[in-house]
Amino acid sequence: MSDDSLIIYEAEITKIDNLLKKMLKGAEAKCALLVDKDGHLITRQGFTHSLDTTALAALLAGSFASTKEIAKLVGEPEFSVLFHQGKKDHIHMSIVGERSILAVIFDDRTTIGMVRLYAKETAQELSRIFQEILDRHEPSPGISNEFADMAQDKLDDIFQD
C-alpha cells in the first residue's frame, strides 16, 4: 500500500482530545473534528451527538482536497486555512501536519478571530504530536483473521437482493 499508516496510541489520543477540549473551551466553539485527509474521522470533541460525522469527515476531506488543487493552479502549495461562513453556524478548517485536518464548528457566540487564534495554537501542538507519531515508523498491524472471517460471514446476511 502506498501511505504509511498512522498509528496513534491511547495516550496520544487522550492528549489530542484534551487539546481539542481546551481549544473548544477557550474559543467557545461548538465542536471540533480531527479528520484524516483520506476522509476518516480520527477523533471528535464537543457537541457532536446528532451530527453525521462520517459524512462530514468525508466531505471535509473532499473539500480540502479540491481546495488544494485550486491552490496549485494559482501557484500555492496548498491553502492552510479554509473558512465557511453560514447564517448561524460556521466552519473553520486548518491543516495539521502533513495529513490531518482540524475542523471547528462554531456559532455567533464566539468570533472567527478567537477560533482562528485557538485553532492555530492547537494545530501547532497537534502537528508536533503527529510528527512524533510519524517518526516512530511502526509497521501497520492489519486486522485479525477472526475479524475478517466473521465480517465475511455477515456479508451474505446483509447484502441480499
Instruction: Work out how close the CB of 55 gets to another protein at its nearest, in angstroms, rounded to a whole number.
Output: 6
When the beta carbons of 18 and 124 are compared against another protein, the nearer one is: 18
When the beta carbons of 40 and 128 are compared against another protein, the nearer one is: 40
When the beta carbons of 77 and 139 are compared against another protein, the nearer one is: 139
Integer Rg of the chain from CA: 18
Instruction: Work out how close the CB of 138 gets to another protein at its nearest, in angstroms, rounded to a whole number.
Output: 7
When the beta carbons of 62 and 83 are compared against another protein, the nearer one is: 62
Separation of alpha carbons 53 and 141, rounded Å: 25
Instruction: Work out how close the CB of 94 gets to another protein at its nearest, in angstroms, rounded to a whole number.
Output: 19
**At which residue does the C-alpha cell 492555530 appear?**
120
- Sheet containing 81-84: give its strands across: 41-46, 31-36, 100-106, 90-96, 81-84
Separation of alpha carbons 143 and 72, rounded Å: 37
Say whether 141 sits in a helix, a strand or coil: coil
